[in-house]
Chain A
């Protein structure tokens, strides 16, 4: 175990949604390279409290990279420099002594700032509520093995289902688009046999809800690069295909009425 010394943290402080916000610099010394990035912030916060100052507010919970609560733009990169890694799993051994680290909240119109580094990501829940589910009320399900799912299909659905809903894709996107998040949920459900009944209505409803809150995708691919689960932008292609098909199908069903 070695220690990092003389780190300068330039952290975004904002007292509330209506405050303009500003950067503040804090010196941090003697951080173990075994510590996680958030543990370094813990050390800073403990010191701020000891000095009578208000601690820096940031979202975090499981610290195992699975709950999706943590966020942070670190040196301008969503979840920091390590690929496929959420901020809570980023460790200080990825940094060196004597550097400045800039820490900001997610930057996206769809995620208003609540305080300091904490943002409101509830719009992602609204997208799921619009159709990101399979309608199967409790009690009526058939035996689980009555619905065989080919292994490659189950694996592909699982690849998409790994999304932790952190919002890094939105924060990384120059347009603030949520296509990777929405595409991942649509792909997870639309690939599975159980998801076929609502496949097209789901794609339509979720895409349209997404567009109420977020920007449009122009294929930068920043989302995939920032995703802590390395979800492929292929899910966006599948979403677009199903959205298009849903529009055609809906025209057909409208013409029947």
Chain B
């Protein structure tokens, strides 16, 4: 049963769409809001801001997190900053320019209307977060400071040292905590979403599993919002936190929510290279470092001299050479591929020759060590803790790693998925970043969705439901979903094979990284699509989960998540195979120009691919939402 992909974008000029939407949207009277229950899953930037704001408006809100505290969501790890079109520095910024940069940065594969709205509310986010007490960096006069970030020629990035995500999340968390303290939000911690329940074509609620005692429980709500983050951990090694997973979005997909553009994954150029085989995750070094660090490799392959002994003429500052106008601040996808080519050409640095230099010697000489320390001190410390090397003395070594996923559940202009009543916000949806996300835009999107978009759109769905009966927890669909959830976990325990979930996750990640990572080919993707189902079969036959389902069991939790990553991995490869063009983070080797830059095919692929579940990811159906560009002209993305 296919659903028409109607984006519900309002009519009118791009700059008026959001205002006109809000003017026309149905409202729920303040006294009636308390009659509606909204379930918010996830408490990162999108989830915490949505739950807090919806509760302030008067809705009954139940918030769910698998962490011990809402403050631990992975938004907290974002380092560099948050974009906003404040133009506080009078350097030519505007809402339109942020909008244009974001559409261009996404390689013209995002929905124009959503991106414009994002740029519009970006200014409100900064106001809101300052009011919450977020200690953004200040200039001596007390005004807010900015820095510049990749893919932009203005300084529009607000930051709080190297911990912007932490400070923003704590701001949103505190606002949520106030609502919890007031009794307006009920918090369920250490609880994981296992299923969404659809009754009469609408989302009626969810089924959760308590991670402490294994209890399976249903929750009914008039609307449900998934703010459950991205799926970068499909690659096993990524900069995502260990527990980040696709389960909530995937189970919704299995119940009818279309999954859009799964092949759009972002490989971040500045991460610490892998050091050994037992490595569990990779660590990001903020892109802001590229403001003052210069990226280079030796000109000669196999040059093993320490960086300091390689004279200037024998160094290749390849980003400055290839992209003179953006230089070291070229967008992420471009900088990542350039690093991969440098390493593949045998010019990698470090003990495993798997990195490139990010060198601060020039900046330290120009600005002094104190200024560099003020800007990046905590990042330098973190680097030294992990590698044992001092970046004030030797260049950092960096290499690209899976970091963010632009794909996610398909949503319309109101952030509603193809299941009525089920919304999706933040990284978990697909909407704003097209095929590549610019730096400092993830925090912006999470907070835009949670603070300003959802609270304005959800009433439009709820208003007509006033005083109408909704399915209760005794409905057979809830009971059936609970039984299926119990059977699923018992199933993992009953396999009693020989390999741990992590073993399978590592193998799965390797296939996806090799064939659906920074560069993809038809041949490679077909190979992946033959290997993945075989490995998945092995998983289903040879998995070993020790312990029981009745008390905390992290091995069992992991099994469920790896199961979903397998299915998602197949869909990622299928999506990458079907998209016969290169755009943003999706680079198909067959589609590049003479200089090795991505070659889009606007005639055939200026659309969103939204996949429909059929019971088997290998047979998912590809639906299409055409992208109309009215306000920007499709152009070849150039950063030269």
Using a CB–CB distance below 8 Å, which chain A residues touch chain B? 1, 15-16, 31-32, 34-36, 38-39, 42-43, 45-46, 48-50, 52-55, 57, 59-69, 82, 84-85, 89, 91, 93, 114-115, 118, 120-122, 124-125, 128-145, 147-151, 154-155, 157-158, 161-162, 164-165, 188-189, 192, 194-195
Within 8 Å by CB of A61, from B166, B242, B388, lies B242
Q: Is the beta-carbon distance between B76 and A67 smaller than 8 angstroms?
A: yes
Q: Is the beta-carbon distance between B135 and A69 smaller than 8 angstroms?
A: no
- Determine the chain B residues whose CB is within 8 A of the CB of A158 once the complex forms: 135, 160-161, 167
Residue from A38, A53, A67, A155 with most neighbouring chain B CB atoms (10 Å): A67
A225 smallest CB distance to B (angstroms): 17
Bound CA–CA A131/B500 (angstroms) = 44
Q: Is the beta-carbon distance between A128 and B177 smaller than 8 angstroms?
A: yes
Q: Is the beta-carbon distance between A122 and B68 smaller than 8 angstroms?
A: yes
Q: Which 3 A-B pairs have the closest CB atoms?
A: A148-B142, A129-B181, A133-B174
Within 8 Å by CB of B382, from A15, A48, A89, A137, lies A89
B495 at the interface (CB under 8 A from A): no
Q: Is the beta-carbon distance between A192 and B135 smaller than 8 angstroms?
A: yes
Q: Is the beta-carbon distance between B133 and A189 smaller than 8 angstroms?
A: yes
For window 168-214 of chain B, which residues contact chain A by CB distance below 8 Å?
170, 173-175, 177-178, 180-181, 187, 189, 212
Q: Is the beta-carbon distance between A91 and B177 smaller than 8 angstroms?
A: no
- Determine the chain B residues whose CB is within 8 A of the CB of A32 once the complex forms: 275-276, 278
Q: Is the beta-carbon distance between A132 and B276 smaller than 8 angstroms?
A: no
Task: Take A32-B276, A93-B388, A133-B175 as given contacts and tell me if A114 and B142 are in contact as well, using a CB distance cutoff of 8 Å.
Answer: no
Q: Is the beta-carbon distance between B133 and A141 smaller than 8 angstroms?
A: no
Task: Take A91-B385, A150-B138 as given contacts and tell me if A141 and B502 are in contact as well, using a CB distance cutoff of 8 Å.
Answer: no
B302 smallest CB distance to A (angstroms): 20
Q: Is the beta-carbon distance between B174 and A134 smaller than 8 angstroms?
A: yes
Q: Is the beta-carbon distance between B276 and A1 smaller than 8 angstroms?
A: yes
Bound CA–CA A162/B139 (angstroms) = 20
B183 smallest CB distance to A (angstroms): 10
B69 at the interface (CB under 8 A from A): yes
B53 at the interface (CB under 8 A from A): yes
Bound CA–CA A199/B137 (angstroms) = 22
- Determine the chain B residues whose CB is within 8 A of the CB of A59 once the complex forms: 68
Within 8 Å by CB of B351, from A1, A16, A65, A133, lies A1
18 A-B pairs whose Cβ atoms sit less than 8 Å apart in the complex = A1-B275, A35-B276, A38-B280, A48-B546, A49-B545, A52-B544, A54-B546, A61-B72, A62-B241, A62-B242, A63-B280, A69-B72, A91-B386, A137-B53, A138-B175, A154-B135, A161-B135, A161-B160
- Determine the chain A residues whose CB is within 8 A of the CB of B77 once the complex forms: 62, 64, 66-67
- Determine the chain B residues whose CB is within 8 A of the CB of A69 once the complex forms: 67-68, 72
Q: Is the beta-carbon distance between A145 and B278 smaller than 8 angstroms?
A: no
Q: Is the beta-carbon distance between B131 and A67 smaller than 8 angstroms?
A: no
Q: Is the beta-carbon distance between A132 and B177 smaller than 8 angstroms?
A: yes
Residue from A52, A93, A129 with most neighbouring chain B CB atoms (10 Å): A129
B315 at the interface (CB under 8 A from A): no
- Determine the chain B residues whose CB is within 8 A of the CB of A61 once the complex forms: 67, 72, 74, 241-243
B94 smallest CB distance to A (angstroms): 16
Q: Is the beta-carbon distance between A125 and B70 smaller than 8 angstroms?
A: yes
Contact with A along B52-92 (1 / 0, CB 8 A): 11001000000000011111111011000000001010000
Task: Take A61-B243, A137-B56, A161-B167 as given contacts and tell me if A151 and B142 are in contact as well, using a CB distance cutoff of 8 Å.
Answer: yes
Bound CA–CA A144/B174 (angstroms) = 18
Task: Take A91-B385, A135-B178, A145-B143 as given contacts and tell me if A194 and B280 are in contact as well, using a CB distance cutoff of 8 Å.
Answer: no
B463 at the interface (CB under 8 A from A): no
Q: Is the beta-carbon distance between A114 and B552 smaller than 8 angstroms?
A: yes
Task: Take A46-B500, A59-B68, A62-B241 as given contacts and tell me if A134 and B133 are in contact as well, using a CB distance cutoff of 8 Å.
Answer: yes
B7 at the interface (CB under 8 A from A): no
Q: Is the beta-carbon distance between A138 and B128 smaller than 8 angstroms?
A: yes
Bound CA–CA A18/B602 (angstroms) = 63
Bound CA–CA A63/B382 (angstroms) = 11
Q: Is the beta-carbon distance between A39 and B278 smaller than 8 angstroms?
A: yes
- Determine the chain B residues whose CB is within 8 A of the CB of A133 once the complex forms: 132-133, 174-175, 177-178
Within 8 Å by CB of B131, from A36, A93, A134, A151, lies A134
B173 smallest CB distance to A (angstroms): 8
Bound CA–CA A136/B132 (angstroms) = 6
For window 364-412 of chain B, which residues contact chain A by CB distance below 8 Å?
381-382, 385-386, 388
Q: Please, how many residues of chain B have a CB less than 8 angstroms from a CB on the other chain?
A: 85
Across the interface, name the chain A residue whose C-beta is closest to B50.
A138
Task: Take A46-B502, A53-B546, A134-B174 as given contacts and tell me if A122 and B69 are in contact as well, using a CB distance cutoff of 8 Å.
Answer: yes
- Determine the chain A residues whose CB is within 8 A of the CB of B231 once the complex forms: none
Q: Is the beta-carbon distance between A148 and B544 smaller than 8 angstroms?
A: no
With A62-B242, A141-B130, A154-B142 known, 14 other A-B pairs at CB within 8 A are A43-B278, A59-B68, A63-B241, A84-B381, A124-B69, A129-B178, A131-B181, A133-B175, A140-B131, A143-B127, A148-B143, A154-B136, A157-B133, A158-B167
For window 464-503 of chain B, which residues contact chain A by CB distance below 8 Å?
498, 500, 502-503
- Determine the chain A residues whose CB is within 8 A of the CB of B385 once the complex forms: 65, 82, 85, 89, 91
Q: Is the beta-carbon distance between B135 and A157 smaller than 8 angstroms?
A: yes
B523 at the interface (CB under 8 A from A): no
Task: Take A15-B551, A61-B67, A63-B281 as given contacts and tell me if A144 and B127 are in contact as well, using a CB distance cutoff of 8 Å.
Answer: yes
Bound CA–CA A35/B281 (angstroms) = 11
Q: Is the beta-carbon distance between B174 and A132 smaller than 8 angstroms?
A: yes
B424 smallest CB distance to A (angstroms): 20
Residue from A16, A45, A140, A162 with most neighbouring chain B CB atoms (10 Å): A162
B202 smallest CB distance to A (angstroms): 27
Task: Take A62-B77, A66-B76 as given contacts and tell me if A128 and B174 are in contact as well, using a CB distance cutoff of 8 Å.
Answer: yes
Across the interface, name the chain A residue whose C-beta is closest to B127.
A141
B27 at the interface (CB under 8 A from A): no
Task: Take A42-B280, A63-B283, A67-B76 as given contacts and tell me if A194 and B181 are in contact as well, using a CB distance cutoff of 8 Å.
Answer: no
- Determine the chain A residues whose CB is within 8 A of the CB of B276 once the complex forms: 1, 32, 34-35
Q: Is the beta-carbon distance between B241 and A34 smaller than 8 angstroms?
A: no
- Determine the chain B residues whose CB is within 8 A of the CB of A1 once the complex forms: 275-276, 351
Bound CA–CA A162/B162 (angstroms) = 10
- Determine the chain B residues whose CB is within 8 A of the CB of A54 once the complex forms: 546-547, 553, 555
Bound CA–CA A125/B284 (angstroms) = 28
Q: Is the beta-carbon distance between B551 and A91 smaller than 8 angstroms?
A: no
B124 at the interface (CB under 8 A from A): yes
Residue from A66, A150, A158, A192 with most neighbouring chain B CB atoms (10 Å): A66
B313 at the interface (CB under 8 A from A): no
Across the interface, name the chain B residue whose C-beta is closest to A90.
B385
Across the interface, name the chain B residue whose C-beta is closest to A195.
B133
A227 smallest CB distance to B (angstroms): 14
B38 smallest CB distance to A (angstroms): 15
Q: Is the beta-carbon distance between A138 and B67 smaller than 8 angstroms?
A: no
Within 8 Å by CB of B163, from A63, A66, A118, lies A66
Q: Is the beta-carbon distance between B132 and A134 smaller than 8 angstroms?
A: yes
Within 8 Å by CB of B280, from A36, A115, A139, A147, lies A36
B311 at the interface (CB under 8 A from A): no
B395 smallest CB distance to A (angstroms): 18
Within 8 Å by CB of A138, from B52, B144, B243, lies B52
Q: Is the beta-carbon distance between A194 and B133 smaller than 8 angstroms?
A: yes
